[in-house]
Amino acid sequence: MTLAIDVHGLNKSFGDKHVVKDVSIQVEQGRVTGFLGPNGSGKTTTMRMLCGLLTPDSGEGTCLGLDIRKDQRRIKRATGYMTQKFSLYEDLTIEENLQFVARIYGMGDRRRRVAEALDRLGLTGRKGQVAGALSGGWKQRLALAAAVLHDPRLLLLDEPTAGVDPKARREFWDEIHQLAGQGLTVLVSTHYMDEAERCHDIAYIAYGALIARGTVAELIEQSGLTTFRAEGEGADRLAADLAHRPGVEMAAPFGSALHVSGTDRAALEVAIAPYRRPPFAWTEIDPTIEDVFIHLMDRSSDNYP
């Protein structure tokens, strides 16, 4: 196993806010790793420390075999970083933006390289269109083309599909897996559970601390959750009644159904017993990854007062 990322004990504070707390993470080369957690949990700060944009207050490790403290410049050149907010020039065309990026990296044979990037991401027919006039999905494609134009070995994606329609999201993820199949390592932050399930593995960070790591199946198993699903007219409205009963750690509507979860099976069964009557039908199900993330979030303490 070759590790693209191998860092230990990363810490970062801004003023009195301890944003990243002793984070250690290893990512294997060629993997797509999902980086999940509530807003304000330190995902973006951690990514910026990995790619050399921020220096950790403490901690050490390597990224692409390079020291994250001593080799920041070399790490930056070998990394593609797609920010959450579209950060290219909106008054330039698609092609002009990519030409600009190629010049920044000092790339040779820029015309051919840009043409290949345009073709790979289906942008050739729109290359003369001004970036500011693009829809969210096309801006996303342009941003990805710019991030991989210099053939990086590591790709960091910060909530890349926020506000993008489902078809564009699916096409984006198909492209990500093609890139990973060619040996590119991808670390992607997302709030979409279907996207988490498309990752090879997941790292979950809550308010600065890394609290879960593994595949979707491993995280579900490690959670220790028992989950029951209630169906029937008004089942989703039971959430308020059940949420504070002993043994219930999560009661969340899923459409017209309800998922009720807890780690104490006996207490959970006692909690739902009064509701095991018509019109409600209860079945025990495997917890979903969303059940697990809600469970993890509820057990985490917000570091922002």
For the chain, give every domain's residue range: 3-219, 225-286
Give alpha helix (H) positions in the chain.
Answer: 43-50, 72-77, 94-104, 110-120, 136-148, 166-181, 193-196, 216-223, 239-242, 265-272, 289-298
Average pLDDT of span 245-261? 93
Sign of the torsion formed by the C-alpha atoms of 63, 64, 67 and 71: negative
Cα(213)–Cα(185) distance, integer angstroms: 17
**The pLDDT value given to residue 107:** 93
Cα(179)–Cα(172) distance, integer angstroms: 11
- Note whether 156 and 184 are within 8 A (CB): no
Q: Do domains 3-219 and 225-286 have the same CATH topology?
A: no
Cα(153)–Cα(27) distance, integer angstroms: 13
- Look up tokens 């991989």; give the residue: 148
* Lowest model confidence (mean pLDDT) among 97-106, 114-123, 290-299: 290-299
Q: pLDDT-derived band of residue 165, with 50, 70 and 90 as boundaries?
A: confident
Cα(260)–Cα(252) distance, integer angstroms: 7
Domain 3-219 of CATH type 3.40.50.300: yes
Q: pLDDT-derived band of residue 162, with 50, 70 and 90 as boundaries?
A: confident
**The pLDDT value given to residue 302:** 58
Query: Cα–Cα distances in Å, from 66 out to 188, 192, 213, 282?
Result: 20, 31, 23, 53
Return the SS3 of 281. strand
Sign of the torsion formed by the C-alpha atoms of 152, 158, 163 and 168: positive
Tokens of 101: 């990026």
* Backbone φ/ψ region at 174: left (φ over 0), alpha (ψ -120 to 50), beta: alpha
Q: pLDDT-derived band of residue 305, with 50, 70 and 90 as boundaries?
A: very low
What are the DSSP calls for 110-162, one per residue?
HHHHHHHHHHHTT-GGGTTSBGGGS-HHHHHHHHHHHHHTT--SEEEEESTTT
- Note whether 162 and 143 are within 8 A (CB): no
Average pLDDT of span 158-169? 85
Strands 281-285 and 3-14: unpaired
User: What integer best gives the mean pLDDT of the chain?
Assistant: 93
pLDDT digits 0-9 by tens, 277-286:
999 999 999 9
This prediction's pTM = 0.89
**The pLDDT value given to residue 158:** 93
Average pLDDT of span 148-176? 90
**The pLDDT value given to residue 300:** 67
**The pLDDT value given to residue 169:** 87
pLDDT digits 0-9 by tens, 264-274:
999 999 999 99
Q: What is the CATH number of domain 225-286?
A: 3.30.70.860
